[in-house]
């Protein structure tokens, strides 16, 4: 029991520190109260409305996850004490136990229970679409910011130019043919 | 009832008295405070006293369990319940209601029953150095979990699974 003496000393010190801090702040701090000082701080913006009274129910899931895994950890303590005596049997037993609890966690993630914020729709990015070609990409970049009338005229020579001189400019293209 | 009056156990007896006093005061504050959140915080003090008593008895595992499960989990669940429902966060004058006689009818027989059971089980037994330890050590507990009570132990994991799935069903928006 004497091994708990440091814990007791720490406890007494913690309580004493808390009380002393309170006492010092009560006795030494200047008391100049005003409405602006009492208002909740919102980065300098005057608070416009009350905070919402109810929180999203998703917080409940976080609490439940915490509790379930808290209790799972509790069962790990007695296992850890007799870990060497139990050996493989203990590992199998605790493995089944942990797997069953972890299964619920997988189900939870699969249900999107931990996805916060508004629902995000997956949008197809057209710039990096898999069916793009060299010419389509070049045309899009080249046409950017130009008047629409100029576009065919500016690109027409380049489009005809590349196949015509394939053996000259592109060595790999000529080898494949 | 359980304490010994030999001088060797004097510190334990003193600390039991201190802890018991703190617990009784906190338990009274739990039911008399006008603020739900404060009631949960006073409850922490009561449960911490229980953990302290288990340490005085020399059973660290149950004390740790008390802190982790009751202070860590149950009180957190209470506070989340206050947060998620329409319960007022601040002080509330209407926290009390007129069901005190009914509560008395429930509480007094319960107190009598539990007091009688405790007295009947121990009468004036005292913890002595020579006698067998009243509280089993953690390794004894481990043995009984992994040998005698293996099936209930594994069933507990299914219970935890059910708790989480129930939480998902409650929290799901459909």
Angstrom distance (rounded) from CA B92 to CA A175: 86
Q: Residue A101: exposed, middle, or buried by beta-carbon count in 10 A (0-12, 13-18, 19+)? A: buried
Residue B65 with chain A: CB contacts under 8 Å: 74, 77
The pTM for the full model equals 0.68
Q: What pLDDT tens digit does each residue of chain B (174 aa) get?
A: 455 566 667 778 888 899 999 999 999 999 888 888 889 999 999 999 999 988 888 788 889 899 998 998 889 888 888 888 766 666 776 767 788 899 899 999 999 999 999 999 887 777 665 555 556 678 888 888 888 888 998 888 888 888 888 888 877 765
Angstrom distance (rounded) from CA A25 to CA A28: 6
pLDDT tens figures, A28-43: 988 888 877 777 776 7
pLDDT on residue B107: 92
* A115 to chain B: closest CA residue: B172
Q: For A124-136, b where at least 16 C-beta lie within 10 A, e where not — what string?
A: eeeeeeeeeeeee
Total count of residues recorded for chain B: 174
Long-range contacts of B12-20 (CB under 8 A, 24+ apart): B12/A1, B12/B56, B15/B52, B15/B56, B16/B53, B16/B56, B19/B49, B19/B52, B19/B53, B19/B56, B20/B49, B20/B53
Q: What is the DSSP string of B97-158?
A: -S-HHHHHHHHHHHHHHHHHHHHHHHTT----SSSPPSSPPHHHHHHIIIIITHHHHHHHHH
Q: How far is B103 from chain A (nearest CA, A)?
A: 30
pLDDT at A12 over 90: yes
Interface test with A, best of B77, B82, B171, B174 (most A CBs within 10 A): B171
pLDDT at A177 over 50: no
pLDDT tens figures, A84-125: 888 888 899 999 999 988 888 888 888 777 777 666 555 555
pLDDT tens figures, A128-146: 566 666 665 555 555 555 6
A33: Cα within 13 Å, side-chain hemisphere: 3
Domains recognised in chain A with CATH numbers: 56-125 (1.20.58.1610), 130-143+155-172 (no CATH)
Total count of residues recorded for chain A: 177
Triad B52, B55, B58: Cα angle to 5°: 160
pLDDT on residue A130: 62
Q: What is the mean pLDDT of residues A68-72?
A: 89
Q: How confident is the model at residue A16 (pLDDT cuts 50, 70, 90)?
A: very high
Angstrom distance (rounded) from CA B76 to CA B79: 5
pLDDT on residue B7: 67
pLDDT on residue B130: 53
Q: And the tokens for B19?
A: 């802890």
Q: How far is A139 from chain B (nearest CA, A)?
A: 46
pLDDT on residue A110: 82
CA end-to-end distance (rounded Å), chain B: 55
The residue written with tokens 């039991």 in the block is B16
Residue A15 with chain B: CB contacts under 8 Å: none
The residue written with tokens 């539990």 in the block is B114
pLDDT on residue B105: 94
Contact B158, A100 (CB under 8 A): yes
Q: What is the mean pLDDT of residues A142-167?
A: 50
Chain B residues with a Cβ under 8 Å from any Cβ in chain A: 11-12, 55-56, 58, 61, 64-65, 68-69, 72-74, 76-77, 80, 83-86, 89, 138-139, 141-143, 145-146, 150, 153-154, 156-158, 160-161, 163-165, 167-168, 170-173
pLDDT on residue A164: 43
């Amino acid at each position: 029991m004497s091994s708990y003496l440091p814990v007791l000393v720490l406890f007494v010190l913690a309580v004493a520190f808390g009380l002393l801090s309170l006492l010092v702040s009560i006795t030494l701090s200047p008391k100049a109260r005003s409405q602006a000082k009492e208002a909740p701080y919102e980065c300098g913006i005057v608070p416009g409305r009350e905070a919402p009274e109810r929180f999203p129910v998703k917080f409940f899931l976080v609490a439940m996850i915490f509790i379930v895994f808290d209790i799972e950890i509790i069962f790990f303590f007695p296992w850890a004490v007799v870990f060497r005596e139990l050996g493989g049997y203990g590992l199998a037993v605790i493995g089944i136990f942990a797997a069953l609890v972890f299964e619920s966690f997988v189900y939870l993630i699969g249900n999107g229970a931990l996805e916060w914020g508004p629902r995000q729709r997956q949008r197809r990015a057209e710039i990096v679409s898999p069916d793009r070609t060299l010419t389509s990409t070049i045309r899009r970049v080249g046409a950017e910011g130009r008047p629409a009338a100029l576009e065919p005229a500016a690109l027409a020579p380049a489009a005809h130019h590349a196949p015509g001189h394939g053996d000259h400019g592109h060595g790999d293209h000529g080898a494949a043919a | 009832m359980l304490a010994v009056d030999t001088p060797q156990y004097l510190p334990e007896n003193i600390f039991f008295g201190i802890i018991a006093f703190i617990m009784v005061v906190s338990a009274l504050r739990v039911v008399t405070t006008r603020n739900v959140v404060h009631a949960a915080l006073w409850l922490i003090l009561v449960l911490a006293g229980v953990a302290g008593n288990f340490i005085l008895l020399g059973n660290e595992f149950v004390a740790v369990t008390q802190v982790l499960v009751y202070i860590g989990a149950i009180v957190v669940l209470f506070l989340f319940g206050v947060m998620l429902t329409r319960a007022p966060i601040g002080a509330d004058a209407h926290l009390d209601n007129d069901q005190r006689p009914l509560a008395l009818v429930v509480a007094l027989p319960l107190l009598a029953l539990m007091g009688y059971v405790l007295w009947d089980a121990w009468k004036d037994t005292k913890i002595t150095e020579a006698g067998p330890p009243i509280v089993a050590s953690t390794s004894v507990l481990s043995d009984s979990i992994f040998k005698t009570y293996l099936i209930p132990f594994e069933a507990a994991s299914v219970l935890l699974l059910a708790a989480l799935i129930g939480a998902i069903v409650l929290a799901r928006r459909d």
